[in-house]
Structure 1
Amino acid sequence: MSDDHSALRSTIASVLDRARARTLALTDAVGDDELCTQHSPLMSPLVWDLAHIGNQEELWLVRDLGGREPVRNDIDDLYDAFQHPRASRPQLPLLSPAEARAYTQTVRDKAFDVLDRDPLSGPRLSANGFAFGMIAQHEQQHDETMLATHQLRRGAPVLHAPAPPPSARRVSGEVVIPGGLFEMGTSTDAWALDNERPAHFVDVAAFAIDRAPVTNDQYMAFIDDDGYARQELWSREGWAHRNASMLSAPLFWRRDSDGSWWRRRFGLIEPVPAAEPVVHVSFHEAEAFARWAGKRLPTESEWEKAARWDPASGRSRRYPWGDEEPAAHHANLGQRHLQPAPVGAYPAGASPLGVHHLIGDMWEWTSSHFRGYPGFAHFPYAEYSEVFFGAAHRVLRGGSFGTDAVAIRGTFRNWDYPIRRQIFAGFRLARDVPAEEAT
């Protein structure tokens, strides 16, 4: 029988295989003892992530979509992220590394059998392979989480990758984005998740946004100007956190006696590269820097307009460079490199107005709280994003060098607590534009 969805099945199989290869590389890089170790109370043991990946795949693809018998229904509670906070997971009777590997492989075999038989049409979970795309994104999101765990672990380097490309052009200054309506979010992207939906028009006042994210050398100037000691630069909440956590530099940085800055990156101790975007800073640090610089963080809608709006056509594109899928020359994604690229390394990935590094390299803090769009409806479960809506979380955009292409696009929304620093997050600056400058 002919299959009208053969190309889609091939794409699904490819993204699932890519995610699993990365999962295994991240977990095979260390011995079983380290797999079971909690390297930080902020993170799960790597072996928990491994089995959780398999459990989510079993729940959604094998049982729900495929209607198959459970592989293991005795472990659902152990790998429910809402039942057990990360700090408590080492005390759970988790699957051993060997059991976790065998379990995830069994689940994957059954998931591919479901893929062979599913019509990839009809009910929304099946339509256009949504459930498979959701699971591929889920696995890649946990792979990025595991990559952050590797950054937190102590010991010799176990992950290796080539350096990112050098800067291809000088990128500095800012660009004014004209005011007016643009379409935010999506109603047509087949694998977009619920918080990206529905598409809606937003009227954004004219604003200026920096062509590049804030770099390490710029951040060093903030430190040297006593940015961490000047209370007037910080919000009340940020200042309290700065004092309680004794913040004085980005996470993993240290200053040598001669004044030079060094960082720990996946087990390597190296000089902080001046031209790279700064990472491992919290929202509070980003906000204080912005105030020091006489600017502010962009709102989420400003960020998305800068990333998607095409002034020539007036339409919103999937990525800054257009609608084509990310390629190696567009952006630093997929753990291809283990650090951000220097500013100007991806000119092909710039937006029509010349804003660079909007996709890849580092997540970008915005000033916006995480909330649903007008007309939001959770799908397929409220716990993916709806339960996180509110003032507790800030939105991040754009993805990092640890984000896979399947899990990022111009509409994709990430969120976290404003104190978080272990994530691969940085920021860029924006400012209001007076009327005479906006025209």
Structure 2
Amino acid sequence: MAAASLTLPYTSSSSYAAGSGSASSSAAASSLFSSFPLSQRRFVSCDSRSRIQAPNSIKCDLSEPPFKSVNGKPIVPILNERNLPKFLETARMEKTINRTSTRLKLFSGTANPTLSQEIAWYMGLELGNINIKRFADGEIYVQLRESVRGCDVYLVQPTCPPANENLMELLIMIDACRRASAKTITAVIPYFGYARADRKTQGRESIAAKLVANLITEAGANRVLACDLHSGQSMGYFDIPVDHVYAQPVILDYLASKRINSQDLVVVSPDVGGVARARAFAKKLSDAPLAIVDKRRHGHNVAEVMNLIGDVKGKVAVMMDDMIDTAGTIAKGAALLHEEGAREVYACCTHPVFSPPAIERLSSGLFQEVIITNTIPIAKKNYFPQLTVLSVANLLGETIWRVHDDCSVSSIFQ
């Protein structure tokens, strides 16, 4: 049976260093985070890696630059002092964390190898050698090309479109690790497909999110690490531990660099279901006021905007959602915000699903900027001038280390 194969080894390359300057105190006073001036941050390359750089900073030592420019800006931000927990201060650490463990193995699926590589760079590890094939009839073959016996294995594989292909690949990767006697298997799922099918809205519907959770558990995973699940209840569908991380600090860090006056800012939820998420986001943005777009949905991927709750006249509106699929909801919401007198409209989301015709809607001029993360890879043909892509690699890499070292994950977001 003929096969097309993809082998994903890691090879280190040249070193890279980059930095960002500090802002003046007067500029900081009018920023989104008025009490926290931006600090000078720098990526440093060196031979000996120390994962905890304290106090109050995370610095990444990169083997190769994961940076790419979008609109002349670096797309891999670093978490700054506002978002870091006290846990990272060495004076408060009760023990030295071993971050050179040979028992930790990191493997990448084919869904988002670029993100996996960036995570490996942050962690100072090499991606594990794995061979993934697609046979002529569409069947998937996975072979680990190095021993994982007794190791803690982390498999990075978002179940983004094509969701069924990537989900099946993840299940087979988990099975391969289990049969190779891995000590523990953690499925790192930056984007969890089927998360929207988390309840029955009509009679005789399936709850696919629960089914997928069962499949991952039965395949042999011991833990799941997910980013910005569509709803918190999805964590309860798993019978194994779930570490739920949020991309909010990465997006907040970028918005702080925009130097928007906090008095001009309003956070907008594109629907009623996202109010809790938008409220938490607004609280971090100097407790900005909140507005809500009320809409009625007449079918899947079809939304109709009805009215706006809140005042956006003369304001900079930041629309926050967990994902953008066809962009119907957020585009109609942006049009309504402009009608209501909003000065500028920004769209922020963690997961850029971008099903057609999302690109056309987002690039139509409604948005000053569309800010997303790289939990789902974006094809080069889908880039447009207003698009800015931020990386969650540092966040996921730090979380993996903390899980491996039995340290707190929730303290990252406090």
Scaled by the length of structure 1, what TM-score is found? 0.22
TM-score (norm 2): 0.23
Q: Hey, which of these two has a bigger chunk of helix by percent?
A: 1
Higher share of residues assigned strand:
2
Select the structure with the greater relative contact order (CA < 8 A; seq sep ≥ 6).
1
